[in-house]
Amino acid sequence: EKSGEKRRKTGKMGEKRERMMKKLDMNSDGQLDFQEFLNLIGGIAVACHDSLLLKPQNP
């Protein structure tokens, strides 16, 4: 195990990171390639766009 790897895998944030990686890592190689990274950025952009659409507009 690399230094710091154990630290990332423990605790609530480590569990959330692992779940997120499993969803993003489409080819299950343990790394995010560029296409998988773009999927992440695209998902963030859609979520931001949707939240702006749902936000009540001031007159």
State the average pLDDT over residues 35-54. 92
Q: Which one has a higher pLDDT value, 37 or 11? A: 37
The whole-number pLDDT of residue 38 equals 96
Confidence band for 47, pLDDT divided at 50, 70 and 90: very high
Whether residue 15 lies inside any domain: the answer is yes
Mean model confidence pLDDT for the chain:
82
Whether residue 59 lies inside any domain: the answer is no
Angstrom distance (rounded) from CA 15 to CA 37: 19
Q: Spell out the alpha helix ranges (H) of the chain.
A: 5-9, 11-24, 34-54
Domain count, the chain: 1
**Domain, as residue range, for 39:** 5-54
Whether residue 23 lies inside any domain: the answer is yes
State the average pLDDT over residues 22-51. 93
Which CATH number is 12's domain given? 1.10.238.10
> What percent of the chain has pLDDT above 70?
78
Measured CA to CA in angstroms, residue 44 lies from 6, 13, 25, 37, 47 at distances of 27, 19, 16, 11, 5
